[in-house]
C-alpha cells in the first residue's frame, strides 16, 4: 500500500502540487439495538478508499477513489491538482513535520475476536435487566467502529494507525398513564469488547429502569436566573457546543466566531480552564494522529479564565503562523478535513460536589443532558437537562423533571465560582458542515454558575 501511495504522491507533485498527501482508510462498523426483548436493528457496514489532497495557490483540491488501479489513481491525482487550481488566493506554505510511525491501539478484547451472537446477547441482556413496573420500553444498544489508516505526504511522512471504538447503552422509558419519562446510561470509549465485559450488565439495566420510574414523581423545575451546578455532561455541553466550536480556527479566520479577538483576554472566572485533548487514554474522541498526519496533542484554550488559543489544522496553523494542534479531522476518506474537536472539556477544580451543594442556599443540580444548541457566532448557550435536583439550604430536597438552560456562554463562565475535583468525559458524535460527523467526547467537572432556567416539563 505504501508503494502505491508514494507513486500517487509523486504524480500529484509532477502535476504541479506545492504539497500533497494521500490517506488510505478502511472502516468497519456494527450497530445493534433491541426493544423489549426483540432485536429491532442490526447493521454491519464496511467501506474503504483513498483520499488524495493537493495544495496549490492557497487552496486544497480533493479527489477520492475506491480503486487501486494505476490508471484510476493517476486520473484521481490529476483531478486533485486540477481541483486546487484557479485564481491564487495566498502564498501560504504547508510544511508539516516529518513523521515515520506505525501504531496499534491496545485492546484487551478486539471486537473482531468476538462472535456477533455474543454482542447480540449483551444487548438483549441489558434490555431484559430493565424489566420493572411502569417501564414500558426497554432499549439496549451496542456499536463498534474500527478504522485503519495509512497516510503519506510529500514532506516524507509515512504513518499507519488504527482506531477502535465501542459503545454500550441502556435506556428505559417509563409511564404511569399520566406522564412519560426516560433515563439512559452506559459506557463508551476507544476500547474493545472489554468495555462490555467490564460492565455489570444486570446492574446497568436495573439502575437505568429505576431512575426512569423515579422521574415519574419528579416535580417541575423553578425558573429564572438561578444558581446552577452543572454536572460533567452539561458542563461538557457548554465546553463543546459553544466554546469548542467557536475555538475551531477555521471559524475564527472566517470571522464566524465570537472568540475571534479574545486571545490573551480574560473571558471567564479564574476557576475556569479549558482543553481539547486528543491524547486522553480510552476517551471516545482520542486519536493518535489527525487526518492530516499531525500527532494528537493537548491544547489549552482557557487558562485560569484567560483565553489562550485555538484548535488548528495545517491550513489554519499556517495562516496564523503557529503550530498545528492535531485537530484536522474528516468523517471518512470521502469527506474534507476541517478543524475539529477531539475531547473537549473544562479542567477540574479543588472542591467536592458535596461541598458545593452544602454551601448553596438555593439552586439546581443538573443530571445528564438531552440536547444543546451550537452558536459559535453569537456565543449563546441553550441546552436541555434530562433531570435535576432542587437544592435548599445546602441539601437536595426534590427531583426535578427536564428543564432548559439559557444564557450567553461568557456571562455564565464569568459567574462560575466553584468546580469539582471530579471530572468525567462522555462520548458522542460532533457534526460540522453538512452531515459531516466525527467521534468526540466532552465533559468536565461539576461547575457552579448563574444560569437562566426555563420551567421544567
CATH of residue 7's domain is 3.30.2290.10
The angle subtended at Cα 448 by Cα 215 and Cα 245, nearest 5°, is 90
Distance from C-alpha of 122 to C-alpha of 71, rounded to nearest angstrom: 47
Q: How many residues does the chain have?
A: 457
Identify the band that residue 448 occupies on the pLDDT scale cut at 50, 70 and 90: very high
**Alpha-carbon dihedral 375, 379, 384, 386, rounded to 10 degrees:** 110
Over residues 186-206, mean pLDDT: 98
Domain boundaries, position 120:
2-217
Report yes or no: 321 and 39 within 8 Å, Cβ to Cβ: no
All three cell numbers of 301, joined, read: 484554550
Report yes or no: 229 and 446 within 8 Å, Cβ to Cβ: yes
| Percent with pLDDT over 70 in the chain | 99
Which 8-state DSSP code applies to residue 354?
Answer: H
pLDDT at 34 over 60: yes
All three cell numbers of 328, joined, read: 484536522
Report yes or no: 233 and 368 within 8 Å, Cβ to Cβ: yes
Q: The pTM is what?
A: 0.95
- When divided into structural domains, the chain yields a total of 2
Identify the band that residue 321 occupies on the pLDDT scale cut at 50, 70 and 90: very high
Question: Of 176, 202, 217, which closes a domain?
Answer: 217
The reply to whether 61 and 199 lie within a common domain is yes
The better pLDDT of the pair 455, 312 is held by 312
Please name the residues in contact with 90: beta carbons below 8 A apart, sequence gap of 6 or more.
Answer: 58, 319
Residue 294 has phi, psi (to 5 degrees) of -95, 135
Type and span of the H or E element at 246 = helix 245-246
Instruction: Return the SS3 of 385.
Output: strand
The reply to whether 172 and 303 lie within a common domain is no
Type and span of the H or E element at 7 = helix 2-14
The angle subtended at Cα 444 by Cα 442 and Cα 447, nearest 5°, is 130
Distance from C-alpha of 418 to C-alpha of 52, rounded to nearest angstrom: 48
* CB atoms near residue 265 (< 10 Å): 11
* CB atoms near residue 71 (< 10 Å): 8
The reply to whether 118 and 249 lie within a common domain is no
Identify the band that residue 373 occupies on the pLDDT scale cut at 50, 70 and 90: confident
Please name the residues in contact with 89: beta carbons below 8 A apart, sequence gap of 6 or more.
Answer: 57, 58, 59
* pLDDT tens digits along 137-180: 999 999 999 999 999 999 999 999 999 999 999 999 999 999 99
The reply to whether 213 and 228 lie within a common domain is no
HSE-up (13 A, CA, CB side) for residue 165? 24
Report yes or no: 185 and 208 within 8 Å, Cβ to Cβ: yes
Nearest in space to 444 (alpha carbons), one of 251, 269, 230, 258:
230
The pLDDT of residue 86 is 81
| Percent with pLDDT over 90 in the chain | 94
* pLDDT tens digits along 40-99: 999 999 999 999 999 999 999 999 999 888 899 999 999 999 999 887 788 899 999 999
HSE-up (13 A, CA, CB side) for residue 361? 1
List of E strands, 154-211: 158-175, 180-185, 188-189
The reply to whether 201 and 341 lie within a common domain is no
Report yes or no: 312 and 320 within 8 Å, Cβ to Cβ: yes
The pLDDT of residue 1 is 83
The reply to whether 87 and 204 lie within a common domain is yes
All three cell numbers of 33, joined, read: 439495538
The reply to whether 112 and 253 lie within a common domain is no
Question: Of 196, 217, 238, which closes a domain?
Answer: 217
The reply to whether 301 and 351 lie within a common domain is yes
The reply to whether 266 and 163 lie within a common domain is no
The pLDDT of residue 457 is 56
All three cell numbers of 149, joined, read: 489508516
The reply to whether 307 and 186 lie within a common domain is no
Q: Which residues of 173-190 are buried (b: 16+ CB within 10 A; e: fewer)?
A: bbbeeeeebbbbebbbbb
Over residues 253-268, mean pLDDT: 95
Lowest-pLDDT range, 66-75, 96-105, 398-407? 66-75
The reply to whether 167 and 283 lie within a common domain is no
Instruction: Return the SS3 of 255.
Output: coil
Question: Of 186, 217, 248, which closes a domain?
Answer: 217
The reply to whether 229 and 208 lie within a common domain is no
Distance from C-alpha of 223 to C-alpha of 64, rounded to nearest angstrom: 51
**Would you give the distance in Å from CA 10 to the centre of its chain?**
35
Instruction: Return the SS3 of 24.
Output: strand
Amino acid at each position: 500500500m505504501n508503494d502505491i501511495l508514494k507513486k500517487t504522491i509523486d504524480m500529484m507533485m509532477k502535476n504541479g502540487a506545492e504539497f500533497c498527501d494521500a490517506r488510505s482508510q478502511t472502516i468497519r462498523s456494527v450497530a445493534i439495538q433491541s426493544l423489549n426483548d426483540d432485536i429491532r436493528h442490526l447493521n454491519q457496514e464496511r467501506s474503504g478508499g483513498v483520499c488524495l489532497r493537493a495544495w496549490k495557490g492557497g487552496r486544497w483540491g480533493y479527489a477520492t477513489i475506491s480503486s487501486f488501479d494505476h490508471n484510476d489513481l493517476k486520473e484521481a491525482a490529476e483531478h486533485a491538482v486540477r481541483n486546487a487550481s484557479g485564481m491564487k488566493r495566498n502564498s501560504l506554505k504547508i510544511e508539516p513535520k516529518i513523521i515515520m510511525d506505525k501504531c496499534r491501539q491496545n485492546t484487551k478484547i478486539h471486537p473482531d475476536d468476538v462472535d456477533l451472537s455474543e454482542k447480540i446477547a449483551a444487548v438483549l441482556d441489558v434490555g431484559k435487566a430493565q424489566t420493572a413496573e411502569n417501564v414500558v420500553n426497554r432499549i439496549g444498544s451496542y456499536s463498534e467502529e474500527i478504522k485503519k489508516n495509512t497516510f503519506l505526504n510529500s514532506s516524507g511522512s509515512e504513518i499507519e494507525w488504527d482506531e477502535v471504538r465501542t459503545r454500550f447503552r441502556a435506556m428505559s422509558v417509563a409511564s404511569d398513564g399520566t406522564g412519560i419519562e426516560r433515563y439512559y446510561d452506559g459506557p463508551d470509549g476507544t476500547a474493545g469488547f472489554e468495555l462490555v465485559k467490564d460492565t455489570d450488565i444486570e446492574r446497568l439495566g436495573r439502575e437505568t429502569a429505576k431512575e426512569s420510574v423515579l422521574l415519574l414523581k419528579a416535580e417541575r423545575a423553578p425558573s429564572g436566573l438561578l444558581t446552577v451546578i452543572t454536572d460533567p455532561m452539561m458542563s461538557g455541553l457548554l465546553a463543546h457546543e459553544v466554546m469548542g466550536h467557536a475555538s475551531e480556527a477555521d471559524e475564527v479566520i472566517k470571522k464566524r466566531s465570537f472568540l475571534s479577538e479574545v486571545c490573551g483576554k480574560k473571558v471567564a472566572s479564574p476557576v475556569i480552564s479549558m482543553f481539547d485533548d486528543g491524547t486522553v487514554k480510552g476517551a471516545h474522541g482520542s486519536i493518535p494522529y489527525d487526518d492530516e498526519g499531525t500527532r494528537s496533542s493537548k491544547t489549552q484554550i482557557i487558562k485560569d479564565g484567560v483565553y489562550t488559543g485555538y484548535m488548528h489544522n495545517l491550513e489554519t496553523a499556517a495562516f496564523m503562523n503557529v503550530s498545528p494542534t492535531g485537530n484536522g479531522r474528516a468523517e471518512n476518506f470521502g469527506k474534507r478535513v476541517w478543524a475539529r474537536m477531539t475531547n473537549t472539556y473544562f479542567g477540574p477544580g479543588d472542591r467536592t460536589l458535596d461541598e458545593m451543594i452544602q454551601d448553596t442556599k438555593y439552586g439546581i443540580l443538573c443530571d445528564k443532558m438531552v440536547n444543546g444548541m451550537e452558536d459559535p457566532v453569537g456565543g449563546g448557550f441553550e441546552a436541555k437537562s434530562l433531570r435535576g435536583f432542587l437544592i435548599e439550604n445546602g441539601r437536595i430536597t426534590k427531583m426535578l423533571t427536564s428543564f432548559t438552560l439559557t444564557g450567553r456562554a461568557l456571562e455564565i463562565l464569568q459567574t462560575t465560582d466553584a468546580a469539582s475535583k471530579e471530572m468525567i468525559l462522555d462520548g458522542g458524535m460532533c457534526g460540522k458542515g453538512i452531515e459531516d460527523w466525527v467521534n468526540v467526547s466532552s465533559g468536565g467537572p461539576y461547575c457552579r454558575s448563574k444560569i437562566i432556567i426555563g420551567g421544567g416539563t
